[in-house]
Structure 1
Amino acid sequence: MKLLVLGFILQVFGYVAVGRVVNSFKESCPQFFIANPSDQNVHYPPTVLQDGQKPERYKQICQLFRNVYRYATLYDTQGRIPVYSAYYYDGSQKTEKVAWKIEPQLDDLNLGPEMAIEATIMTPEKGKKQALKQDYVSHSQEYTRGHVYPNGHTKDQDSANATYTLTNAVPQTQKDNVAWGAKVEMKMMKFINDNCDKGVGHVVTGAVPGSSWMEIKRDNVLVTEGVNIPEHFWTAFCCHDKNTPALVSGAWLASRGSKDLQVRKKTVKQLEEDLTRLYGNPQGAFSMFGGLCQGSVMSRFYYAVTNFLLDIFTT
């Protein structure tokens, strides 16, 4: 029951930060993904999407800030939005807002591995494969920079600072941003704090591309496809129950509506089935926790109680 927590602590101090746009989550920053309960050296990142026509489209990023890996992001360079960010929730506190940053290595692998303020990055390739500040500023009346890994799920200022990178943001109306925070982020955080061992758990949260785009310019030339505006937002968590050896999990899927954000509670398995369909995944079923956290390790009674508690905290 305590292995998940102990394993994470050992791994945080055991991995060396060496470059951030990586070839493999498993090799570079596996600590943010759930481990096999019987072997803490085996981790299960969510499905890494592939595009047969554009093999360089999706990039795995170990998000580095002040020489410490803070979380992991699968980034879509075509849509200029993240597919998902995966992190380890271990508490929260109020933090200050800071300036937004970008990932230098997305545009030029010869640049430094740390996220950086856009103005400090000098390369003619800047913004070719990612969103820039001006993209959101020019559409500020319509869209905010919606955190994928929320800054409200961090327990110190450095961790919060690391969430302020445009590789961790999607276009989101202010109304949807507020609704997602209230209906999902706050309630999931409360559930983890109240029911998970030591108040910690693994979280994966992301967005599904839509058919609309924010128009952008590069070198004063309009880009055919700018920054994608997602149609769906989703998140899932998995943790050890604080009173039993069971794994506890939950998930949410939201759709942009004509008026209000439509949020639905899901099991992890249900959300994986939805994402398999929504992403049109050519590799097969979309997976978030390597087949764990789907309720199979719980007794039917315990699973029913867990879902009852989810209903209490998410309505």
Structure 2
Amino acid sequence: MSQRKMLQSSSGALLLLLPWFGGLVLGEISSNFSQCLDFFYQRSPPQGISAAGYQPICQRYKNQYHFASLYHRQQRAPLYSAYVLSAADGKRPKPVWMYEPQLSFSRADPQMKVFVDPVDQNVIDSQAVLQDYKNSNFTKGHLNPSMHQKTKENRKATFTLTNIVPQQAGSNNGPWNQLEEDVLNKYKTFCNASMYVITGGLPYESGPRWIKNRVSVPEYMWSAYCCPSYNVSLPQFMRPFFPTYAAVGRNDRNSGEEIVPVNTKVSRASRGYDVRKMSLETLEDILKQRLGMSVSLFHGQCQ
């Protein structure tokens, strides 16, 4: 199947999912990102995504906002997380997993909370829980990776399941991890000010696939960055990577190669989890076809 036909069919599949999404709640999580717009370039969240279908979350930990996520209630996974990248000033913290209380009760404490046993049934009904990932053969894949966050509290805040998608270990520990390191290196070497990053997952074109019949598994991971202020003396080979660049990575080694080709020369563990780097415009075209919406990730294309 050609890439255009494949993308057109996936668009129809995704449109069928939109009526599943529940309504929005009020309070800390609301109908927009008004409390945490600083995590978006020009304080402008991605445009073109129907707000009626998703739940904006300002990710709050220890009385501070750390990043933003657009959460899919029925699929119990985020469509994306948005953050300002900053090199970590320490090590990756030991995971202490948390959840979003206001997804289960709109008047709950707005701070993310650590999971404790037994987990309240309202929490289980409203979002992913640790039991979903147990013996699932999937890792907990960060959209906002902890090592892209400066302080210990920043890094701890990324360990909420509202920032997580089911990710194959071959992707999470292989090519996708290499992409995260590459983006961090570009930030440290060439970016003169803030780098705004948006990372998400794309469900299967034929409809959702699940772990435990509860959490949707993405077929692909995607990410884009915006670095509006960068070194004007960039080497020639580095100029295509600024001010924006993007990538799509395979989360299923058995998927077709229309979006991301397979490199058969890599190690067996990484084979089939390839990452294709691309322009922001190419990524937005893929999102448009897959989601059935004209998505603009950065205000004015980060110009």
How much does 1:20 deviate? 3.0
Q: What is the SS of the residue equivalent to 1:197? A: coil
Between stretches 62-71 and 101-110, larger displacement belongs to 101-110
Structure 1 residues 256-275: aligned runs within 5 Å: 256-258=252-254, 259-275=271-287
Supply the distance in 2 between the matched residues of 1:21 and 1:138 (Cα, whole angstroms).
31
Aligned-residue sequence identity (percent) comes to 31
1:161 paired to 2:173: no
How much does 1:96 deviate? 1.6
In structure 1, which of residues 62, 66, 71 is the aligned counterpart of residue 67 of structure 2?
71
**1:87/1:215 CA distance change after superposition, 3 Å:** closer
Q: Partner residue of 1:32?
A: 39
1:202 paired to 2:196: yes
Supply the distance in 2 between the matched residues of 1:90 and 1:23 (Cα, whole angstroms).
28
Q: Partner residue of 1:226?
A: 214
Unaligned regions of 5+ residues in structure 1, if any? 1-17, 36-42, 217-224, 298-315
Q: Partner residue of 1:118?
A: 115
1:135 paired to 2:143: no
Supply the distance in 1 between the matched residues of 2:65 and 2:83 (Cα, whole angstroms).
10
The aligned length equals 251
Supply the distance in 2 between the matched residues of 1:188 and 1:242 (Cα, whole angstroms).
14
Structure 1 residues 78-97: aligned runs within 5 Å: 78-93=74-89, 94-97=91-94
Q: Contact 1:192–1:201 (CA<8 Å) still a contact in 2?
A: yes
Supply the distance in 1 between the matched residues of 2:291 and 2:188 (Cα, whole angstroms).
31
How much does 1:185 deviate? 0.3
In structure 2, which of residues 282, 296, 299 is the aligned counterpart of residue 287 of structure 1?
296
Q: Partner residue of 2:18?
A: none
1:103 paired to 2:97: no
Supply the distance in 2 between the matched residues of 1:266 and 1:29 (Cα, whole angstroms).
28
Instruction: Considering fraction of residues, name the structure with more strand.
Output: 1
Supply the distance in 2 between the matched residues of 1:242 and 1:262 (Cα, whole angstroms).
28
Supply the distance in 2 between the matched residues of 1:124 and 1:260 (Cα, whole angstroms).
38
Q: What is the SS of the residue equivalent to 1:252? A: strand
In structure 2, which of residues 141, 147, 152 is the aligned counterpart of residue 152 of structure 1?
147
How much does 1:115 deviate? 0.6
Supply the distance in 1 between the matched residues of 2:195 and 2:110 (Cα, whole angstroms).
27
How much does 1:173 deviate? 1.4
Q: What is the SS of the residue equivalent to 1:242? A: coil
Q: Partner residue of 2:31?
A: 23
Unaligned regions of 5+ residues in structure 2, if any? 1-25, 234-238, 255-270
**1:122/1:183 CA distance change after superposition, 3 Å:** closer
**1:180/1:47 CA distance change after superposition, 3 Å:** farther
TM-score (norm 2): 0.76
Q: Contact 1:104–1:121 (CA<8 Å) still a contact in 2?
A: no
Supply the distance in 2 between the matched residues of 1:122 and 1:270 (Cα, whole angstroms).
42
How much does 1:99 deviate? 1.2
Calculate the aligned-residue CA RMSD, in Å.
2.3
In structure 2, which of residues 233, 244, 254 is the aligned counterpart of residue 249 of structure 1?
244
Between stretches 85-94 and 59-68, larger displacement belongs to 85-94
